[in-house]
Each structure stands twice: as C-alpha cells, then as structure tokens.
Chains A and B, each alone.
Chain A
C-alpha cells in the first residue's frame, strides 16, 4: 500500500462526516426535518462525480497531446468511477425525493409521474446516459489506438454536455429540486446554516478523495494487466 497523506485525510474527513453529520445541530425546516442531513451524502456524490469527470476529461486531453496509452486508462477509470458515483447520487436522490416531494396523502408510487418529470432528474439522466454511451463506444472498438483516440474525443464532447444538462437546463425550467428559480442551493439564510457548511465541505473533499483512491486501485490493476499483455 502506497502510504499517502491524502488517503489518511480521506479516512479522517469521512469519519468526521459520519459522526458530526449525525450529531450536529441542523436547521428545522418543515418538509425536510432530519432528512436535511442527506446533504452530506447525496449532494457529495454529485460533487465528487463532477470532480472525477473533470479529472477524466483532463486525462483525455493529455492522451490526445501525447498519445501515451497510460492517460487513456486514467481517463477511462475516472469516468467509470464517476458514473458509479452518479448512479449512487441518483438512487439516493430518488429515495430522498419520494419522502419529501411526494404528496403525503397519496402512496409514493402515485406521485411518481410528477416527480419523474422533474427537469433536474431528466438532466442528470441525460448526463449519465451520455457517459454510458462513452463506455459502450470504447468497448465496441477493437483497435487499441483507435479506441483510445475516439473515446478521448467523445469524452470531451460528453464533458461539454455534462454541465448544461445538470446545472443550466434544470435552472431554466421550474423544478422542485433546491437550487432552482434563481436561489442557490447553498443559501445560508434559506437552506443550510453555517454549521452545516462545516460538515458539508469536508464531506465533499472526503468523498472525492475516497473515490480517487478506489480509482487509483483500478488504474494500477489495469496497468498491470496491460503489462502482462505486452510481455
């Protein structure tokens, strides 16, 4: 195990998130109640996803500049981990929404159609589907160099649609998701208090570092595989 300060930092930050996240005082908002603590988990998944997609596209550009196979592996593994985080964010969001957005007088499934129509959900689904297509495109090309080059170019296009799909489009349309209609989701006065930020920002860093750690493991494994194939 490569002992690095950032792996230890990740563990410490996550332990802090899991203890302070449950025990610290949070604002009492009627529809959310204690579920406001999901901010430390659900929202962090999306933040970590965006950071990992950014690392992925940077590596795609580096591949196109150098044509070093190593950067292609980096780009792919970071994209895969980011997709995993995105799926986790989607699932946790679905659970959260079904208890806070749904009409409490009706069974959850009856409000499903109105929830599923929310532009934030559709935007996130588009972004994830674009990245699913990235994986399919990669694995459908046999030639190593062609695969790496085409998928690097596609990665840049996918990154270009990511932020419009998850940030800009949902903000133009009316949505139930916080952070719409011109109000930022991290507004101290209306949404989260100052001491929630004290947990939220460390949580984002902690989750991101954990995701990077897992990704480096996958990168090292695929580099090993590559080496075995060459020899």
Chain B
C-alpha cells in the first residue's frame, strides 16, 4: 500500500514538472518570436527626423528659413519701390 502511494506522489510530481517544462519552452518561444518581430520592425522603420521634431527643434529650422525668405522678399519689395520712384521722376 505504502509503496503504491509513494509511487502516485512521484508520478504526480513528475507530471507537474513536465507541464512546467512545456510552459518554459512556450515562454522562450514567445520571447524569441517577439524579439525577432521587434527586430524586423526596426529594419522596416525608415529613419526620419522624429527626434528633432519631438524636441520641437524643427521649428527652429522653419524660423530660420522663414526669416531668410522674409528678408529676401523685403529686399525685392524695396527694389520695387525704388524703381517706382525712378519711373515717377522720369515721367
């Protein structure tokens, strides 16, 4: 009787172990899969100026470029005014 009981306990313990092993294997597989998927995602991602935009620094570039544009337009407008004055003098 005693022997028999001992055996069943052992049997149950071994079964438990088996389940744990299976779970561990499954977990490892999941981990590997996620890592590989993440790696693939990284490969497909195109580098853009995300960091610059997250820092809000792209606006600095826009400000500089717009300033230059406004300066040039102001220059052209002043030229326009000067030529108009010349035209009036020559009439």
Contacts and interface: CB of A to CB of B under 8 A. Distances in A.
Contact of B90 (A2, A18, A28, A228): A228
Contact of B69 (A2, A18, A33, A217): A18
Interface stretch (B18-26, B27-35, B58-66): B58-66
B83 A217 contact: yes
B69 A15 contact: yes
A222 B61 CA distance: 38
B80 A28 contact: no
A23 interface: yes
B74 to A, nearest CB: 10
A204 interface: no
Contacts of A224: 83, 86-87, 90
Interface residues of A, number: 24
A129 interface: no
B38 interface: no
B37 interface: no
Contact of A213 (B69, B76, B81): B76
A221 B83 contact: yes
B12 interface: no
Contacts of B79: 217
Nearest to B74: A11
A14 interface: yes
B40 interface: no
Interface of B: 46-49, 58-59, 61-62, 65-66, 69-70, 73, 76-77, 79-81, 83-84, 86-87, 90
Nearest to B83: A220
Contact of B49 (A11, A34, A220): A34
Contact of A14 (B58, B69, B84, B86): B69
B46 A28 contact: yes
Nearest to A220: B83
A2 B80 contact: yes
Contact of A1 (B47, B49, B77): B77
A18 B62 contact: yes
Contacts of B59: 23
B37 to A, nearest CB: 19
B46 A18 contact: no
Contacts of B90: 224, 227-228
A28 B65 CA distance: 23
Contacts of B69: 14-15, 18
A214 interface: yes
A169 interface: no
Interface string A2-33: 10000100010011001100110000111001
